[in-house]
Amino acid sequence: MKSRHGFTLLELVIAIAIFAMLSAFVAQSIQNGVRAKQKVQAQIDEVSRMRDSLKLISKDINLAYHHLDWEKELQALVKKKTQNPQATAVPEPQPEAPRLDPTTHFVGDETSINFVTMNNARFQTDKKMADFVEVGYELKACQSVDGKTSSQCLWRRQSGPVDLDVTKGGDQMVLLENVTELKFRYLGEGKQDWVSDWNSTDQSNDALEKGRYPLAVEISLTVQKSDKSKKHSMQVVANVHFPNNPAPKNNQPGAGGPADPVGGVGP
């Protein structure tokens, strides 16, 4: 009879040891791959949230709503015409009731911005609401979802009623966490360069800003977590599609200047 040979105990032990080492190596490689994927995915999500936030801010700025009371302008023209002795007398229209000038303002500095925009969604067809709302963006502290950590966050404020103080009122929500920088700069008609503040209210000391909207806003945003991981920075320029600014007077600075280089209509 032919002799039969099998594996010895030593050979089995060696084979099992090699298989265990290979299994541990493969398992470690898989774990490293999963962790790397999670890290990359977290960075992609972070950048996506930044881009979504910048898109929302840009959309609000694109649709900034600057209301001008044309009825008030017409009344002023009629009054001026009636004061001219050579002109035909035209009776001045009398309003049925005193009306308030529904002025909309644009107020911003380096770290916050507040204005009126037409970027307003109507979720209920039977709900009474205007097509425009007040919005504001600023940087301030907030708690994480689990409540364990806090960071500087990008907040968006929205107010349905539009009043003379465009910087207050409404509800706030967090758009982005771990924000280390939020910066705005503004470019307007007659301005030679970007400025760090804009104020269209009657309290403005700048004739180029009073009663006027900027033509474009530069937005800079930087996000970095508390563990000092990779920093992400983005910068965009959002044009105001319809500034609706009154025509500058002959003696106003910037009158007769060249067309604005950022797509706005020059004086």
Mean pLDDT for 106-128 is 84
Name the residue among 119, 104, 106 with its Cα closest to residue 213.
Answer: 106
pLDDT at 157 over 80: yes
Q: What percent of the chain has pLDDT over 90?
A: 37
- Is residue 61 within 8 A of residue 241, CB to CB? The reply is no
Confidence of residue 144 (pLDDT cuts 50, 70, 90): confident
pLDDT at 89 over 70: no
Mean pLDDT for 38-62 is 89
When mean pLDDT is compared across 139-143, 198-202, 257-261, the lowest value belongs to 257-261
Q: Is 160 exposed, middle or buried (0-12, 13-18, 19+ CB in 10 A)?
A: middle
Query: Residue 161's pLDDT is what?
Result: 80
Q: What is the pLDDT of residues 214-265, one digit of tens each?
A: 999 999 999 987 777 788 999 999 999 999 998 766 555 554 333 344 433 3
Mean pLDDT for 90-116 is 75
pLDDT at 146 over 80: no
Confidence of residue 193 (pLDDT cuts 50, 70, 90): very high
DSSP one-letter code for 54: H
Mean pLDDT for 130-137 is 88
Mean pLDDT for 74-84 is 65
* Alpha-helix residue ranges (DSSP H) falling in the chain: 9-62, 70-82
pLDDT at 63 over 80: yes
Confidence of residue 42 (pLDDT cuts 50, 70, 90): confident
Query: Residue 37's pLDDT is what?
Result: 80
Query: Residue 259's pLDDT is what?
Result: 38
- Is residue 186 within 8 A of residue 216, CB to CB? The reply is yes
- Is residue 220 within 8 A of residue 196, CB to CB? The reply is no
